[in-house]
Chains A and B, each alone.
Chain A
Amino acid sequence: MIPALRSATTTTARTLEIVRVVLLLLILGAFVMYPVELFIIGHWLPTWESQVPFWITVPGVLFTVWIFFDRTTPWVRWAFIITMWVAILTGLVGAYWHWIWNMEDTRGIAWNWSYAMDQFHGFRPVLAAMAYTNMGVTGLACIFRAR
């Protein structure tokens, strides 16, 4: 992204690269700050599911930083794109699990409206997990047609 920004010759190309750099900076900040936040709130528990958002941070930070400097090497592009898809899935599965586990802690899994909505704002925040989905989608948008 940075080499493309530096070598942009037209106003449009420069603006395009600025948009990409700013949005990538946002998701880089998110990849760094979310694990800190999750650690502070005690999300690191002795189950692998609770540690998934921490592990995704490793390729998330690594390849987001890398893509700032090199977005043309095929395996780096693919590694970044796959990481973003994993982040999208992490968010979706996380939201689903939060909801399911809220139900299991109460009266079991059931999908009638009032009960499901009660559990939707239960102890585990359902939509919070989708922050990772947001980051993944943003990353994919930034790499779209970026060569």
Chain B
Amino acid sequence: MLERWMNATTPEGKTLGFLQNFFLLIAAFGFFFYGVEHWVIDHYMESFWARLPFYVSMIGLPLALAMFFTVHKAVRIPFTIWMVVSVLTGLLGALLHLVWNANDLGVSLFTISGLLESFQVPYRPVLAGLAHTHVGAVGLVVGLTATVKDS
């Protein structure tokens, strides 16, 4: 992406190159940051599900970094697919947090009060899982527009 930005000749191409690199940086930083954050808050536990966001970060970070230097399909396609995985991981995480909260509290998610109670459990924040959805969505925008010709 860096080379495409440097080679852009039109004003729109330069601005697009800047935005693509900027959002790629946000995605890369997000993967690094959430990887560290998950470790700091002791999210890395025995179960596979607790480790899933960590694995997504571990693969997402090198792919995002590689995208700075090449948009060859060998990198771009795995990167784009992995961004979709990240989006889905976030959605799954939010859903699992919500279901596990409801189980811990012994309430039903199909009642308004049960749903609201399950959202309010401080040690398992429901929407926090969506951070990976955000990182994935930002990366996906970059992946899908990475090969647009400057014209």
A interface with B by C-beta (< 8 Å)? 10-13, 15-16, 18-20, 22-23, 26, 33, 37, 40-42, 117, 120-121, 123, 125, 127-128, 134, 137-138, 141-142, 144-146
- Please name all residues of chain B whose beta carbon is closer than 8 Å to the beta carbon of A138 when the two chains form the complex: 26
State the Cβ distance, B130 to closest chain A Cβ, in Å: 9
- Interface residues of chain A: helix, strand, loop or mixed (majority): helix
- Please name all residues of chain A whose beta carbon is closer than 8 Å to the beta carbon of B10 when the two chains form the complex: 10, 12
Alpha-carbon gap, A22 to B90, bound state (A): 18
A-B contact count (CB 8 A): 77
Q: Are B23 and A23 in contact (CB under 8 A)?
A: yes
Supposing A16-B15, A144-B19 touch, asked if A11 and B145 sit within 8 A by C-beta, the answer is no
State the Cβ distance, A5 to closest chain B Cβ, in Å: 12
State the Cβ distance, B104 to closest chain A Cβ, in Å: 16
Q: Are B120 and A42 in contact (CB under 8 A)?
A: yes
Count contacts on B: residues with CB < 8 A to the other chain: 33
Supposing A12-B13, A26-B134 touch, asked if A141 and B119 sit within 8 A by C-beta, the answer is no
Supposing A11-B148, A12-B10, A16-B16 touch, asked if A127 and B141 sit within 8 A by C-beta, the answer is no
State the Cβ distance, B134 to closest chain A Cβ, in Å: 7
In the complex, which residue of chain A has the Cβ closest to the Cβ of B116?
Answer: A40
In the complex, which residue of chain A has the Cβ closest to the Cβ of B130?
Answer: A33
- Please name all residues of chain A whose beta carbon is closer than 8 Å to the beta carbon of B47 when the two chains form the complex: none
B138 within 8 A of A: yes
Q: Are B148 and A37 in contact (CB under 8 A)?
A: no
Q: Using a CB-CB cutoff of 8 Å, which residues 17-66 of chain B contact chain A?
A: 18-20, 22-23, 26, 33, 37, 40-42
Q: Are A145 and B11 in contact (CB under 8 A)?
A: yes
Q: Are B20 and A19 in contact (CB under 8 A)?
A: yes
